[in-house]
Structure 1
């Protein structure tokens, strides 16, 4: 199964051994402020879903590993947007790694994988409108605002990027 290395990160597939790191992430109130905190059972189900998604679709969520520390610091990858056939970029990082450009770095690597390896023509991303940091990452990677929407039981801003736009912006 594919892995990706960037300057500071290694994106690898989740294993069942990642449960404690993922649970720590999913129970941090600051990290999950705009998402839903998860119980042990929900985290276990989420971890199994991440593993299964790769087996079924050849894309999914990666465990984001910080190369210098060797620690799992979050997740980033692609999945299906709730009740649609659209493919969505998603990411969550440990708060001690915020404001370093790591979300942007992982997201660019993920979009490259989606376009060049999976062969997608369009990738979307959504964020809670008040989640300024997440919206900033989405904009920084070249996604364009399309509309306000409602997914996962909350109002969100909806962005997208096409393969053509991605190529025009110089990504390879």
Structure 2
């Protein structure tokens, strides 16, 4: 389910097992549980956040992006428990002049199809949100789980590149 607020701004995105919404600064302590986790951030160009203040700054960046574009990385909550379990969403990526879809989950939620579920929800929105038609994603070549998610939701491998200081596989969403 998609919820729109005043001025048609997206305020919530639901899947069968999750509810996603924009971050607030109050989410920082909970979000640090994955942003500071070396396993979760293993294939992220800059690695884990080392302090809570780093996560607060990250969330402020997401809120600025949200204000400018109407969406950003959002907090993911498990629908049944409302426990925060990760983040997902598109961010403008200047190096590629496109919006890049990213997602992260706490390790206890890996291998359950949740990354595919939340990524697919964002992919499906590209038809309703201006600017998302040229959605792309990139991942480290050794991040096999992320590559599988991208392929399952319809991304096609485009090329290899060096993005944000990391060897990367770049995927693009075909325009239909």
Same fold at TM > 0.5: yes
SS of aligned partner of 1:103: helix
SS class of match (2:20):
strand
TM-score (structure 2 length as normaliser): 0.88
**Equivalence for 2:160:** 148
Secondary structure of the corresponding residue to residue 75 of structure 1 = strand
Counterpart pick for 1:74 among 71, 83, 86: 86
Gaps of 5+ in 2: 1-9
Give me the whole-angstrom Cα distance separating, in 2, the residues matched to 1:62 and 1:114: 16
TM-score, with length taken from structure 1: 0.90
Shift of 1:81: 2.0
CA distances 1:80-109 after superposition (whole Å, capped 9, x unpaired): 225332110001101100001000100011
Structure 1, unaligned runs of 5 or more: 165-172
* Of 16, 24, 39, the match for 1:30: 39
Displacement of 1:119: 4.8
CA RMSD of aligned residues (A): 1.3
Q: 1:11 aligns with which of 10, 20, 32?
A: 20
State which of 112, 128, 141 in structure 2 corresponds to 1:100.
112
User: 2:57 and 2:166 mapped to 1: Cα distance?
Assistant: 22
CA displacement 1:117-171 (0-9 Å, x = unmatched): 335321101000000001110111110001001111010000001331xxxxxxx
Q: Matches of residues 1-172 of structure 1 in structure 2 within 5 Å? A: 1-35=10-44, 36-40=47-51, 41-164=53-176
The count of residues paired between Structure 1 and Structure 2 equals 164
Corresponding residue of 1:167: none
Q: Give 1:170's aligned residue.
A: none
Partners of 1:58 and 1:114 in 2: CA distance: 13
Structure 1: distance between partners of 2:92 and 2:131? 15
